[in-house]
Structure 1
Amino acid sequence: MRIGNMHQFTEHHRYYSYRDFSLSAVDRKMIGLIYQPMIGAFATGLYQLFYQLVPDDRVGYSPLEPQRKLFLGSGLDMHERGRQEFVEQASRLEAVGLLQTSRLGVPDSDDYVYEYELIKPLSPDEFFRNPHLMLLLRDKVGKYAVISLRESFYEKEADELAGAELARDNITVPFYELFKLNAQTVDVELEQALSEVAPTRSPAAKPQLETAGIQYGEIISRFPRNSANRKYVERLRGDEEQMAQLNFVAYKYSLTVVDLCRLLDEDDVFSTRGELMMDELQLRASQMYRQDRKRDEDRLRMQGRMEAASAGEQGDTGDEPLEEVAVQEEFYMEVPAQLAGRCDIHQYNMLMRNEPHTRFVTRFFPGAVPEWIIRVFEVIDLNYRLTGSVINVLIHYVLGMNDAQRVTKTYIDAVASNMLVKRIDSFEKAVRYVRDQVRMEKDRELRQAGGAAGGKASGGARGAASGRTRGRKPAMAIVQEAGELAVSQEELEEMRRLARKLDGNK
């Protein structure tokens, strides 16, 4: 219970309790043997007092009464020390999930009404699957006592059946094979009566999201006390929807409790009214996820370098070299221009199939290999997990066959990503992939060449048409100088006859 001022929690304030369950024998045993060592006998006695306020054979609400009855029933004096003791014991019940307290404001009044909602104890299976509760019990009674307590809740299976692998045949009779309902008639009066006597408190169905399993208690126990956002974080207590969204963000970006507390402590994560800005939180969680991933990749590459260095030192002491794998002629690749004359096709393909990529890439450069190229293939090796022979085929494709000189980090990374997507995990698959890519590039160049030739043939007409549609003024034909034309005597005489005829018509 969070009570800022003890004058707001006195024996004069009214209260009521609510529960929607009844305790079974196993539940009572759980309270006595499991919960009581964790929270003490006073807190479990207070739980029993709340439980008895509603008849044992019913569920629902207790009468609305002053809290004086609670103090007297708990044996507490009605002064500030007694109120603090009651708050402490109720907080113990809340911390282990047996009680939920709410303060209700009375309209048109400064008075408060306190609601004590009891929660059913966990079953033995649920309790021992809950890590923080089980660890608390271990700290209180010891691990051997925890094992003994767990065994006390279960009856062992017969020895004859425990180790046997028996075939299970479900012979249960379903409902509709035994009973037939008359669904033709609808009893309106019955439905109305049931709706009138239905409980006013009904749990609302909420969509279930994937969760990281982070509880409010884990967040608030690690959150800084002097943080400006602490008052907003404290409002998350009891807000199941916000906690579900936080757990989904933590699950989505692999955040721990410490990472989530760090994000909630940053500026602009909460609005001025204390509302959680989920979009801003997801943006910062994504940035943290990318940074963590980059650090993991760098750490993995550094570890790979150290392992390679240690393996090299061990290899110098006389370890056996790896066995070479032969390359079939149908998977031979042509020797690049950079290596022409230095090795034949058989030697080149054997190097590409068996040599480490760190040595194979140096053969394409007369001097030192650029540092950025080393880093790119290091990422492909250690982070993308492509095999060595596939990386060598990738080097052959981007360095040996790239006539357009598109050797950039983006291009190499795009080709490697495409290989990953297409599950290229062997030398033979990589060779087929490269040949398919070369064939596709040639087909694309042929189509572009054909399109360019067609464009030149119809360039004038298409240019005029496009000019008429785009421009405001119509495209006018331009008279080009054609030079002198040779005219025969007969053509000249025909032209003169037409000119006389036109003069006569005038």
Structure 2
Amino acid sequence: MRIGSMLEFTEHHRYYIFRDFSLSGLDHKMLTLIYQPIVGGLAVALYHLLYQGIEEGRSGYSRLEPQRKLFLGLGLSMDERSRRLVIEQASKLEAVGLLQSSRLAVPDHAEVIYEYELMSPLSPGEFFQTVHLTMLLRDKVGKYAVISLREMFGSSEPDELAHAQLEKENISVPFYELFQLNMQSFDTELEQALTEVAPARQASPRAELASARIPYGEIILRFPRNSANRSSVERLRHRPDSLAQVNYVAYKYNLNVTGLCRLLDEDDIFDGNGELNVDELQLKANGLYRHQLKRDEGREKALARSEAMAGEVGEDERDEPEYEVSEQYFLPVPSPLQGRCDIQQYNMLMRNEPHTRFLRRFFPGAVPDWIVNVFERIDLHYKLAGPVINVLIHYVIGGQEAGRITRTYLDAVASNMLMKGLDTFEKAVVYVREQAQMEQDKGLRQGGERGAGAASGKRAFGGRGGSNGRTPSRKPSIPIVQEGTRDSSVTEAELEELRRLAHKLDGKS
């Protein structure tokens, strides 16, 4: 908690609490045995005091109350020493990820309100995978105590299974194989009622993006200490949304920890307030990705096509999709991918995979450079959503009329999607279906016009040649002057008169 002056943090200032979780028995055990040796008993007492500010079994926001309640709850007096002590304990909770403090200025008033957002303790697995927290616990209690605590929170595998070579088969039943929803009717009243009874202000949703699963501890250990962006990278520990975006960019462009730290150390990745500039990070990551593609081009050509495909499938199977696709929005599997996945798997890939990975599935080898350039512009400049770009790939590249693929056509379809405001997977699917129906109707209409034209031509020329089976001509029948026999009935006198008239007309008479 950064407080410049003690006058900004007193027992008279009001505060409120927010939490969207409930502590379990395992969480209480983690607070007592793991977090308390690190931050101390008074900091854990402050955490419990804030937790009890909201009724058990509920989540959301507490009432506005003066901070005097916190001082009295901790048994502290109302003086400057107690203020510094509360700030110190809150800072410890913030450093280990249990609390996030904010200061809110009320418009048109000089009053300042403090917001305390509680975070749930990490699970034992997550805690001991976080390197800097484990090292801090080791410094507090010792190496052997850490090993003992780790064993205390886990149950070992049965001896019969520990050393056996077992083949694991997933026999779980998916949702749409057992349940069928009525997709024809949408209950708008229910949606409106749920919106009305929801809290007026909720915690920002934490979208579960596809992730490279690079923990914060790995990033901070490899990041240069003397870098200008060091403080901004350290703030990622308390900003899970920004850390998730960083991991998504690393997943999208196949970045390892070293490459990611190199990009985070670049200029303009963080703004003046330390906020992550996602667009700039994606631009630099895309440049590194293109450079890596050129380096790997020779190696990819040397690999056998079957080995490359097997390696690609194995890599994709490790990343489970995060978003489900409703059956009413399923698109058919295109012919290049038939036999490699069913319709549900294909739509899950199209909904969740980045376009760089989804595009490679339609090509047995490397993707042509001009196609990579077109989709790079669509992603980075047009700002189309990733699922919408994948639907565009399905519509243009996976369609039956793939022979008409050009830069102009791809750009025209993407521009049309952008103008129609397609920002979700579902809207893009509806757009593709409407376009397919329009093309089908246009084909039927043109076929009908050709049939009507042929029938009218047959009626117009039915009197000429219609009965003998010959195709009637489209040109009108124009009579042609036939060359007949020469009539020699003109006498000599008439010829002489004609000559005289000709001389007269010539002015020679």
* TM-score normalized with structure 1 length: 0.48
Larger-gyration structure (1/2): 1
